[in-house]
Chains A and B, each alone.
Chain A
Amino acid sequence: MNVLQVFRVAIRALLRNKLRSFLTTLGVVIGVAAVIAMVAIGEGAKAKVAEAFASMGSNLLIVLSGSTTSGGARGGFGSLPTLTWEDLRAMRAECNAVRYATPQLRGSASVISEDQNWGTSVYGVSPEFFAIKDWPVSSGSGISQSDIDGGTKVVVLGQTVVEKLYGPSADPVGQMVRIKNFPFQVIGVAIRKGQSVTGQDQDDVVFMPYTTFQAKIQGGLQKFVPGMLMVSATSADDTARAEKQIANLLRDRHHIPIGGDDDFSIRNLTEMATAQQEGVNTITSLLASIALVSLLVGGIGIMNIMLVSVTERTREIGIRMAVGARPRDVLSQFLVEALTLSFFGGVIGVLIGLFGANRLAGHFGWPVMVRVDIIVVAVSFSGLVGVVFGLYPALKASRLDPIDALRFE
Chain B
Amino acid sequence: MAESPLIEVEHIAKVYHMGDVEVHALRDVSLAISEGESIAVMGPSGSGKSTLMNVLGCLDRPSHGTYRLAGQEVSKLDRNQLARVRNRTLGFVFQSFNLLSRTSALENVELPLLYAGVSGRERHKRAREALERVGLGGRAHHHPNQMSGGQQQRVAIARALVTHPHLMVADEPTGNLDSRTSVEIMALFQELGRSGITLLLVTHEPDIARYASRVVVMRDGLVQSDRRQMPLVADVAAAAAQAAAAGIP
Contacts and interface: CB of A to CB of B under 8 A. Distances in A.
Nearest to A402: B59
A329 B115 CA distance: 8
B80 A327 contact: yes
B88 to A, nearest CB: 7
B98 A406 contact: yes
Nearest to B160: A323
Contacts of A316: 100
A403 interface: yes
Contacts of B116: 324
Contacts of B60: 403
Q: Is the interface of B mostly helix, strand, loop or mixed?
A: helix
Interface residues of B, number: 24
B92 interface: yes
A320 B111 contact: yes
Interface residues of A, number: 22
Interface in A316-336: 316, 318-329
A1 B117 contact: yes
Residue from A1, A318, A326 with most neighbouring chain B CB atoms (10 Å): A326
A324 B115 contact: yes
B48 to A, nearest CB: 14
A403 B54 contact: yes
A406 B79 contact: no
B76 interface: no
Interface string A1-39: 110010001000000100000000000000000000000
Given A328-B80, A402-B59, A323 B115 contact: yes
Given A323-B159, A324-B83, A326-B80, 10 more contacts: A1-B115, A2-B117, A5-B114, A318-B98, A319-B98, A322-B92, A322-B98, A325-B87, A326-B83, A328-B80
Interface of B: 54, 59-60, 79-80, 83-84, 86-88, 92, 94, 98-100, 102, 111-112, 114-117, 159, 163
28 contacts: A1-B115, A1-B117, A9-B114, A318-B98, A319-B99, A319-B100, A320-B111, A321-B86, A322-B92, A323-B112, A323-B115, A323-B159, A324-B83, A324-B84, A324-B86, A324-B87, A324-B88, A324-B112, A326-B79, A326-B84, A326-B115, A327-B79, A327-B83, A328-B80, A329-B115, A402-B59, A403-B60, A406-B98
